[in-house]
Structure 1
Amino acid sequence: MSTTSAIFSFGQDYLTSGKALQIARGTLQATITEETRDKIRQSAAHVASIVDKGEPVYGINTGFGPLCTTKISKQETNILQSNILQSHSVGVGEPIATEIAKLMLILKLQSLCKGFSGIAEATVDRILWHIDTDVIPVVPSQGSVGASGDLAPLSHLFLPLLGLGEVVYNNKTLPAKEVLQAHNLTPLDLGPKEGLALINGTQFIAAHGVKVVEKLQQCLSQADIIGAMMIEGLQGSVKPFYKELHQLRPYKGNIHVAARVQAMLQGSEIMEDHIDCDRVQDPYSLRCIPQVHGASRNAWLHLKELLEVELNAVTDNPIIINDQLTISGGSFHGQPLAMAIDYACLAASELGNISDRRIYLALEGNSPGVPKLLMKDTGINSGYMILQYTTAALASENKGLCFPSSADSIPTSLGQEDHVSMGSIGGRKALRVLNNLEKILAIELLTAAQAFEFRKPLKSGPVLDEIHQLVRKQVAFADKDRVFADDINKGITLIQAGLVLKTAEKAAKEHNVSLFTSYSEEFEVY
């Protein structure tokens, strides 16, 4: 149930990634207004009129794909729609996360409620019931090529409307028919155009995009904080973060990152301690944080902006303008999102790549006061040496996953669909890269906290001191070898829960440290 009085109206209100996630998590109530219902009924009436006239319109009274010239009789139009869901349910592989499947329902309902799909009111009500009751279809992860819609995953998503397939309900995977019966519901009889409207669209790609936007934003913000902490631990210079430098090359991401890092370093005794040192400049992994993190932020912003267009678009085919005008176009093609997701995937990988370089830098023992391998008694102890092996492995795996899925295309549907986006593969791949990135950042967090310790009794600024205390509540300082995998898992939990970011924001507020920049809303709100 909703925990807030706010209500989102499908088909009318502007949907963002954040709102979609709130609906999925039950913190934002969603409904269908009477005004939207009028549009839905009118669009369904247009389809009925087309069927009565008998003039061939793709997907309404013709076959699909290469069968587009095969005429379907008026009596068979309903059978055609239930058949398409069954014949196109060819997905394989592990099921996608239940939350992503729920996001697919939410995004599809937003598109259908625009009133250009010829869907029946009873069908949108059933989809809303699935969302509200948390009866989420099981959707295989593989089988979509990301054009002509995410056909296979969307077919599995809507099999339960016919009483087929499986659903997750109360954390159990059950036959859809069984759950419908338990709620005194019967399978739907789909009308003309409905099956095609349900499975034509980009909701598999877009749902993955929503998760990429959320996870990458958290990683970006936490990477800035961890990078600042590493600068403290290794006594890097604050000058590369001065606004005077970045105003001369004013990329939004660079300016935003530099200002945030500089704010976290202000008031630090550690930074003041070496203000007159003879080091001319730091290695790139410290000095170029604004440029590298900033470029990844710009990639995130690009994806967020394109994704919001998609979340509020009509992406099925054909589009029913009225009973006189239907348009068979290509709005189901995933290319706009596919390319942006590949860009974001590369951005995530690079964030992990530079993080691994900072970890390696911390182990070298070239920073005064910080011992080699971050441990004084080495020889009998290996210190933090092997943690960097793990980040090297993860960073290398991510590089291998960065080949753009959208660079490939394999013709399908006997050549009718001769160029596809592969955005569905890109979305899944981007989340794999982000999962690896979270692990890399967790290890950098532990490494930075260990280096930080050798600066005592000097104090950092209040924000980074709070981050250090957060880590130490979970992971003790290491003065000898132990099973570091246990430490890493605790660090991963901190990153995945966003606790580094939440702690930093709370500390900044309490100590009147401004992490806000003119670009904060662009880079932090989704």
Structure 2
Amino acid sequence: LAPLAHMAATMIGVGEIFVGEARLPAAKALAEAGLSPVTLGPKEGLALLNGTQFSTANALAGLFEAEVLFRTALVTGALSTEAAKGSDTPFDPRIHALRRHAGQIETADALRGLMAGSAIRASHLKDDERVQDPYCLRCQPQVMGAALDVLRQAATTLGTEANGVTDNPLIFPETDEALSGGNFHAEPVAFAADMIALTVCEIGSLAERRIAMLVDPALSGLPAFLTPKPGLNSGFMIPQVTAAALVSENKQRAYPASVDSIPTSANQEDHVSMAAHGARRLLGMVENATAVIGIELLAAAQGCDFHAPLTSSPALESVRALLRAKVPHLTDDRHFHP
């Protein structure tokens, strides 16, 4: 509420506003912008300080970015499967029809479609001595599918919240009544934000395990650290370590905010949702997980390069072409940061 109060105060000409690098009194800044301070009517001041709306907006921002993250991780996951010469058998629809989770079924379909027509996959359909792939490859439908189901539940909750009334007290003019209640309590938003945080953490965690698998020749069958000529930069060793660090940070951030309630005053506010805390962390978590997915894209494309002249599916080759237009194949060990 306090940050919202500072923001809303500037609208009535109180406090300070940054105009470029200059820090001006709010009234002066408004005047220079050709604006007049707002004159608030009944209940409008309280409405501007409604923390539930702040929490909902931040949770929605995190949700929208998590949706992009999810779709991208499906692509990089399929590409990593190709790089490791993994199997698409775990994506067979008959397997997932027996469990019937919608997200799992759809994720398996998407992964199978991404790998359709792959010459790399066709090259090891017979006489492959391996029985099963690591979990990070074959359990993608179960993990990512569960994430999809949870993201959809969070989206449903936040959609309902965004179209609901969270003011208090509520005025019912048809009966000329003012009813006090608790619609301002953001517990639904807090739960939704915690759910989004869990999915973002797990999407990144699964991707990091795929990166770790790719850089390990014992697991992937590829050159160590994905470099044909080892050098001082150690190939993909440090990118994998970076991914692991980002995942660890997200694990710490994923602790549920909704289970923590600190009373904010000595009167009636004896249980609060902590939804603002839960929602504010989401964009940072997605940024971390997106970096992990970026590292996986680099590693998976590099792994597929070693299978030349065999190519992946048309869908995944289009992704590799987009990447290679900006990032060349790692031939001689080089500084990765740029």
When normalised by structure 2's length, the TM-score is 0.94
Partner of 2:271: 419
Question: Do the aligned partners of 1:317 and 1:332 also contact (CA within 8 Å) in 2?
Answer: yes
- Counterpart amino acid of residue 132 in structure 2: Q
Partner of 1:342: 194
1:187-242 alpha-carbon deviations (Å, 9 max, x no partner)? 23323322123223511101111111111000000000000000111110000011
Tell me, in whole angstroms, the C-alpha distance in 1 between the residues paired with 2:231 and 2:42.
Answer: 75
Partner of 2:225: 373
- Which of 194, 204, 212 aligns to 1:352? It is 204
1:302-323 alpha-carbon deviations (Å, 9 max, x no partner)? 1111111111111111111127
- Which of 240, 245, 251 aligns to 1:393? It is 245
Range that drifts further, 182-191 or 218-227: 182-191
Partner of 1:187: 37
- Which of 257, 265, 268 aligns to 2:107? It is 257
> Cα gap change, 1:481/1:456 in structure 2, threshold over 3 Å: closer, same or farther?
same
Tell me, in whole angstroms, the C-alpha distance in 1 between the residues paired with 2:246 and 2:304.
Answer: 24
Question: Do the aligned partners of 1:356 and 1:440 also contact (CA within 8 Å) in 2?
Answer: yes
Report whether the alignment pairs 1:430 with 2:282.
yes
Question: Do the aligned partners of 1:153 and 1:204 also contact (CA within 8 Å) in 2?
Answer: no
- Counterpart amino acid of residue 88 in structure 2: V
Range that drifts further, 210-219 or 155-164: 155-164
- Counterpart amino acid of residue 308 in structure 1: G
> Cα gap change, 1:165/1:258 in structure 2, threshold over 3 Å: closer, same or farther?
farther
How far did residue 480 of structure 1 move? 2.3
- Counterpart amino acid of residue 32 in structure 2: A
Q: What 5-or-longer segments of structure 2 have no aligned partner?
A: none
Report whether the alignment pairs 1:406 with 2:288.
no
When normalised by structure 1's length, the TM-score is 0.61
Tell me, in whole angstroms, the C-alpha distance in 1 between the residues paired with 2:94 and 2:147.
Answer: 21
How far did residue 367 of structure 1 move? 5.8
- Counterpart amino acid of residue 290 in structure 1: P
1:449-491 alpha-carbon deviations (Å, 9 max, x no partner)? 11010011111111100111111111111122222111xxxxx
Tell me, in whole angstroms, the C-alpha distance in 1 between the residues paired with 2:331 and 2:24.
Answer: 51
Tell me, in whole angstroms, the C-alpha distance in 2 between the residues paired with 1:380 and 1:189.
Answer: 65
Give the 4+ runs in structure 1 shifted more than 6 A. 168-173
Report whether the alignment pairs 1:293 with 2:149.
no
Report whether the alignment pairs 1:382 with 2:259.
no
SS at match of 1:202: helix
- Residues 67-466 of structure 1 mapped to structure 2, 5 A cutoff: 151-167=1-17, 175-276=25-126, 277-322=128-173, 324-366=176-218, 370-378=222-230, 382-466=234-318
Question: Do the aligned partners of 1:242 and 1:262 also contact (CA within 8 Å) in 2?
Answer: yes
How far did residue 375 of structure 1 move? 1.2
SS at match of 2:202: helix
- Counterpart amino acid of residue 111 in structure 2: V
SS at match of 1:484: coil
Question: Do the aligned partners of 1:201 and 1:315 also contact (CA within 8 Å) in 2?
Answer: no
Tell me, in whole angstroms, the C-alpha distance in 1 between the residues paired with 2:264 and 2:221.
Answer: 62
How far did residue 425 of structure 1 move? 0.6
Tell me, in whole angstroms, the C-alpha distance in 1 between the residues paired with 2:335 and 2:200.
Answer: 28
> Cα gap change, 1:449/1:319 in structure 2, threshold over 3 Å: closer, same or farther?
same
1:56-87 alpha-carbon deviations (Å, 9 max, x no partner)? xxxxxxxxxxxxxxxxxxxxxxxxxxxxxxxx
Which has the greater radius of gyration?
1
* Identity level (%): 42
Partner of 1:66: none
> Cα gap change, 1:242/1:152 in structure 2, threshold over 3 Å: closer, same or farther?
same
- How many residue pairs end up in the alignment? 336
How far did residue 171 of structure 1 move? 9.4
Tell me, in whole angstroms, the C-alpha distance in 1 between the residues paired with 2:198 and 2:142.
Answer: 15
Tell me, in whole angstroms, the C-alpha distance in 2 between the residues paired with 1:477 and 1:166.
Answer: 51
Range that drifts further, 452-461 or 220-229: 452-461
Tell me, in whole angstroms, the C-alpha distance in 1 between the residues paired with 2:94 and 2:324.
Answer: 36
- Counterpart amino acid of residue 181 in structure 1: A
> Cα gap change, 1:412/1:180 in structure 2, threshold over 3 Å: closer, same or farther?
same
Tell me, in whole angstroms, the C-alpha distance in 2 between the residues paired with 1:457 and 1:285.
Answer: 26
- Counterpart amino acid of residue 307 in structure 1: L
How far did residue 153 of structure 1 move? 3.1
> Which of structures 1 and 2 has the larger relative contact order (alpha carbons within 8 angstroms, sep 6+)?
2
- Counterpart amino acid of residue 164 in structure 1: V
